[in-house]
Structure 1
Amino acid sequence: MSVIRKRNKDLGLLELVAIALGGMVGGGIFTVLGISVSMIGNLTPIALIIGGLIALLAAYSYVKLGLYYKDEGATYSFFKRTYPDSHFSASIIGWFIIFGYISTLALYSFTFSSYALSAFGFGDVIWARKAAAIFILGVFTLINVWSVNGMGKIEDIMVYTKLVILVAISFVLIQYGEVDFNTFLQNMAVDYKNSTVLSVLIVASVTFVSYEGFQLVINAVNEMTDPDRNIPRAIYLAIFLAIIIYLVIATGALFSITPQEIVKNKEYALAIGAKNAIGKLGSNLVVLGAVLATSSAISGTVFGSSRQVAVIATDGYFPKWLSIRKDSIPKNAIYAMTLTASFLIVIGGLELILEFGSITFLLVSLLMAIANYKIKEKTKASTFATSTAILGLACGGILILYYEFTHNWEQMSFIIVLYVILGLGAWLFAKRHEKKTIKTID
C-alpha cells in the first residue's frame, strides 16, 4: 500500500514567475550580449526578439504537456510517458537534461564569483573565484533544503530586485548615452547592410540559452496553487518579461557603449557603460544586479532540477538514494547536484560545458514539441502551432550546431565526446532497469 504525502501548496504566481525569471535572467544575457554584438552589431535587439519567439515556441509544448501530465518530472517525465515502451529513451533524456542543469549551475556560480570579487584586489585569482563559486552554491543548497516557502520568498526578493536595478540602469544609459535614437536607427541600417539574415538567425538561436529556465515552473507543480491557471500564466508572463528586460539591457548598452567595448569587455560591458554615465555608483549597481541575477538563477535551478533528479531516480535511471525526500524536499538530489557542479567548477572547462548545456536545452525542447505533436489530441494542442514549433526549434538546433562547427570545432568535438559518455551511463542504467522489470514480471 502506497503512502500519499500531503504537499504544501506554498507557491503562487509571483513565486512561479520568480522561479522562471530566476532561471532565465542569470549570467547568460551578459555573455550573449558580447557574442551577439560581435556578429551583428546593433541588430542585437532583433536577434533577442527572435530568440524570445523561439522560446515561446518551446514553451507552448511544455505548457500543453505540463497541463496534461501535471508531473514534476517535467521534461523527463513528459518524454517517458509519451514513449512508455523505451527504457533507453527515458534514461538518456533524463541524463542529458540533468547534466545540462548541472553545467548551468556551475556557470552561474562561477559568474557570481567573478562579479562578487571584481571590486577586490584578488578578484583575478582563479582559485579565489572558484572558492566563492562553491560557497554560493552551498548557501543556496541550504536555502533549498531548509524550506520550499523560504526559497520562494527569497527568490521573489532577489529576482524582482535585480530586475528593477538592471532595467533602471539600462534606462539611465539610454537617457545619458552618447547615441541618440536616430543615430541608433542609422547604425542598425548600416549593420543590416553588413550582416546576413543567416547571421541574425544564428545569433537568435545562440540567445536561446538566455531564455532557458522557464520549464522550472513545471517542476514545482506539487508545490504550487492552481496549476491549471498558474502554469501557462507563469511561463508565458516570464518569457514576455525576459524579452522586455533583454531588449532594455541591450539597447541601453548600445546607446552608451561602443560595439568594440562591448565585444572586448563582454559581461562587464554594462558596468563600464554605467560607470561612464553616472560614475562608480552606476558600476556598483550593475555588479549588484549581476550578482542578484546569478544568485536567483542558482536558486531556481537547484529547486526545479533537483525534483527532476528525484523523479528519474525513483524510476531507476539514477541511483535510488537520489529519490529520497524529507518533508517533500529531495535533499539528496540537491546535495548531489551541488557536489557535481562544485566538481565541475574545480576542474574548469565551464565554457565548454555551457555550450553543451545550450545545445542540449534547445534540442530537448525540440523533443518536447515532437512528443506534444504525438499526443496533440490528448493535450488539445494546435496542429499548426505544434508543427511551427517543431520547424522553428529544428532550424534553431541546426543553426547553433553549424555555428559551433564553423567557429570552434575542437569545442564541438568535446561536446560530442561528452554526449557519448553520458549516453553510455544512460544505457547502463536503462539495461539494469529493464532487467529488474523483467524479473518483476516473471
Structure 2
Amino acid sequence: MVDDGHGSLDDDGTSSRPPFLDMPDSHPTGGRRGTHGPQGVGVLGAMAIGIGGMVGGGIFAVLGTAVELAGGATPLSFALAGSIALLTAHSYARLSATHPSAGGTVSFLDRAFGADLWTGTINLLLWFSYLVTIALYASAFGAYGARLWTPHPSPLLHHALISAAIVLPVAINLLNAEFVSRTEIYIVVAKLLVLLVVAIAGTQSIDPARLGVGTWPDLPRVLTGGMIIFVAYEGFELIANAGEDARDPKRSLPPAFYASVLFVIALYVALSAVTVGSLPLEEIDAASEYALAAAARPALGPAGFTMVGVAALLSTFSAVNATIYGNGRLAYVLAKEGELPELFERRVWNRPVGAVLATGFLALLLANLLDVTQIAIIASAGFLMIFTAVNLSAWKLARSIRMHPALALLSAFASGSALILLVVHTSRDNPIALVLIAFSWCGCLIGEAVYQRVSGREFTVGDDPPTMPDSR
C-alpha cells in the first residue's frame, strides 16, 4: 500500500476506497471525502447528499405527469409519496447507523440475505433503475430545451436535445470525470435557489379554489399519481453510501435521512401547490413536459419561465452527468462481483469505459423510444421494489439495528402496496409500460441466473463492494 495524498492505493495503483458512489449527487461538494474523524461527513454534509440526490432532475420531469393524474390533489400525491420515502428512510437510517458502509443498498441486502440470485437480481435492478432515471432526466432536458428554443419545437429538435443530454455527459465522463465533481455543488445550490424563489413568489398567484376538494379526482388516481412520481424521492438512499466516511454514523446519518426527506417533501408540496393553484388544469396539461416553467410565469412573468427553464437545463444535464458517473461505476462493481459481463470491467485511462458506454447506450435507447410517463413509471416501480427489499432487510436485521420489527414490516408493506397499486393502474392505463417493467425485471432475474451458469463466475460480494479505480 502507498499513499497518493488522497487516500491509500493498492499495489496495482488502484484506489482502496470503496468507490462506485463517490459521485457528485452522492457528494455535492465534489471533493474526496474523509474517513471517520473530524474531517468526515457530518449531519449537514449528509443532508446535502440526500437533498442533492432527490432534487435532481426528477421534479422537472414528473410534475406535469402528476398533475395529469391527480389534478388539484397533486400536493397530496407528493405528500403521500413522501410519507413512503420517509418510512423507508427510517429503515435506511437504522441500517446505516449500525452497519455504515460505502456499499449502501448493495451491502444491506447482502448482509440480510447473503450473496445469491435474489440479491444479485435486486442489485441489477438498482443499476437498471438508475439507468432509467438517466433517460428520464434526458427527456426533461429535451422538453425544456426545445421549448426555450422555440414556442413550437419539432420532434426532431426534441430528440436531438435528448440525445445530446446523454452523449455529451458520456464524453465528459470518459475524458474529464473530475469536471463532474467540480461543477456539481454550484448547480445544486443554483437549482435549489430557483426552486425556492418559485415556491415563495408563486404563493401570491395561488387561487385556493383550484386546490379545493372539488378539483380532486377519485382516490385511486390521487394515490397512483404519488406512486408514478416516486422516482423524484429516490435520491435519499445515497446518504447510505456516505456511511464509511461519516464523522459519527450513529449520530450524523439518521438526522440527515429524516431532515433531507422532510425538506424535500415540503419543497415538492409547495411547488405542486403553486403549479396547480396558479394555472388552469388545461394549461398545465398543454405544458405537461415543462409544467414547472409554466407555473413560474403567473408570478414572475416571462423572466420566471426562462429562469426555471435554464435551471431545468442545468439541473437535468448535471443529473445525467452525475448518474452516468455513478451508475457506470456501479456497473463496474457488479461486474467485478460476477453479476455483469466482463465487458463492464474494461478500463481505458483507468476509467470504466465499457460500463459508461453501455450505460449511455441503453439510456439513449430508452429516452428516445419511450415517453416521459412510461419512463417515470418504470423508474418508480424499480425503486419501490428495491425499497421494499431494503425494508425487508431492516425487518430481518431488526434486532441488531435496534428497530422495531413491526415498523420495518409496516415500511415494507407501504412500499410493496404502493408498487402493487402502481402496477394495477399501469395495467389499465399504460400496458406498454407494464410490459416493459415485466421484461426488464425478468431480464434482471434470468440474465443473472443464465450469466452465472454460462460464465461460471461466482458471486464475490462481501460487506463492501470491490474497489473502483480513481479516474481523476
Whether these two folds match at TM > 0.5 is yes
399-408 vs 287-296, which moves further: 287-296
CA offsets 1:176-214 (integer angstroms, 9 cap, x no match)? x262x4x45xx423235xx43333322222232211111
- Alignment partner, residue 254 of structure 2: 232
Aligned to 1:213, the other structure's residue is in SS state helix
* Structure 1 position 249 matched with structure 2 position 249: no
CA offsets 1:16-66 (integer angstroms, 9 cap, x no match)? 434433332234334433333333322221221111110011112222223
1:388 to 1:226, Cα distance in 2 relative to 1, 3 A: same
How far apart are 1:171 and its partner, in Å?
2.2
2:360 corresponds to which of 338, 341, 344: 338
Provide the rounded CA distance (Å) in 2 between the counterparts of 1:48 and 1:432.
44
1:320 to 1:39, Cα distance in 2 relative to 1, 3 A: closer
- Alignment partner, residue 291 of structure 1: 313
Which amino acid is the alignment partner of residue 138 of structure 1? V
Provide the rounded CA distance (Å) in 1 between the counterparts of 2:45 and 2:397.
30
* Structure 1 position 130 matched with structure 2 position 159: no
How far apart are 1:374 and its partner, in Å?
0.8
Provide the rounded CA distance (Å) in 2 between the counterparts of 1:139 and 1:331.
10
Which amino acid is the alignment partner of residue 274 of structure 2? G
* Structure 1 position 141 matched with structure 2 position 170: no
- Alignment partner, residue 100 of structure 1: 129
How far apart are 1:331 and its partner, in Å?
6.5
1:23 corresponds to which of 31, 44, 53: 53
* RMSD between superposed Cα atoms in Å: 3.2
Provide the rounded CA distance (Å) in 1 between the counterparts of 2:56 and 2:73.
22
Structure with greater proportional helix content? 1
How far apart are 1:359 and its partner, in Å?
0.5
Provide the rounded CA distance (Å) in 1 between the counterparts of 2:459 and 2:55.
42
Provide the rounded CA distance (Å) in 2 between the counterparts of 1:171 and 1:436.
54
Aligned to 2:147, the other structure's residue is in SS state coil
How far apart are 1:132 and its partner, in Å?
2.1
Any conservation in 1 of the 2:394–2:401 contact (CA below 8 Å)?
Answer: yes
2:191 corresponds to which of 127, 141, 162: 162
- Alignment partner, residue 88 of structure 1: 117
How far apart are 1:409 and its partner, in Å?
2.0
TM-score, length-normalised on structure 1? Answer: 0.84
Calculate percent identity across the aligned residue pairs: 27
Provide the rounded CA distance (Å) in 2 between the counterparts of 1:318 and 1:269.
38
How far apart are 1:394 and its partner, in Å?
1.8
TM-score, length-normalised on structure 2? Answer: 0.79
CA offsets 1:230-255 (integer angstroms, 9 cap, x no match)? 43333322211211111121121123
Provide the rounded CA distance (Å) in 2 between the counterparts of 1:252 and 1:165.
14
Structure 2 stretches lacking a partner, 5+ long: 2-8, 18-31, 35-39, 461-472
Aligned to 1:283, the other structure's residue is in SS state helix
How far apart are 1:157 and its partner, in Å?
1.5
CA offsets 1:326-376 (integer angstroms, 9 cap, x no match)? 999866644542343234445556653442221010011111111110111
Aligned to 1:118, the other structure's residue is in SS state helix
- Alignment partner, residue 416 of structure 2: 394
Which amino acid is the alignment partner of residue 394 of structure 2? N
- Alignment partner, residue 190 of structure 1: 214
Any conservation in 1 of the 2:41–2:242 contact (CA below 8 Å)?
Answer: no
1:344 to 1:191, Cα distance in 2 relative to 1, 3 A: closer
29-38 vs 405-414, which moves further: 29-38
Aligned to 1:100, the other structure's residue is in SS state helix
1:221 to 1:314, Cα distance in 2 relative to 1, 3 A: farther
Which amino acid is the alignment partner of residue 201 of structure 1? L
Aligned to 1:430, the other structure's residue is in SS state helix
- Alignment partner, residue 467 of structure 2: none
How far apart are 1:381 and its partner, in Å?
1.4
Provide the rounded CA distance (Å) in 2 between the counterparts of 1:109 and 1:418.
20
* Structure 1 position 215 matched with structure 2 position 244: no
Which amino acid is the alignment partner of residue 67 of structure 2? V
Any conservation in 2 of the 1:19–1:155 contact (CA below 8 Å)?
Answer: no
* Structure 1 position 278 matched with structure 2 position 278: no
134-143 vs 394-403, which moves further: 134-143
Aligned to 1:214, the other structure's residue is in SS state helix
Aligned to 2:220, the other structure's residue is in SS state helix
Any conservation in 2 of the 1:101–1:357 contact (CA below 8 Å)?
Answer: yes
Any conservation in 1 of the 2:143–2:290 contact (CA below 8 Å)?
Answer: no
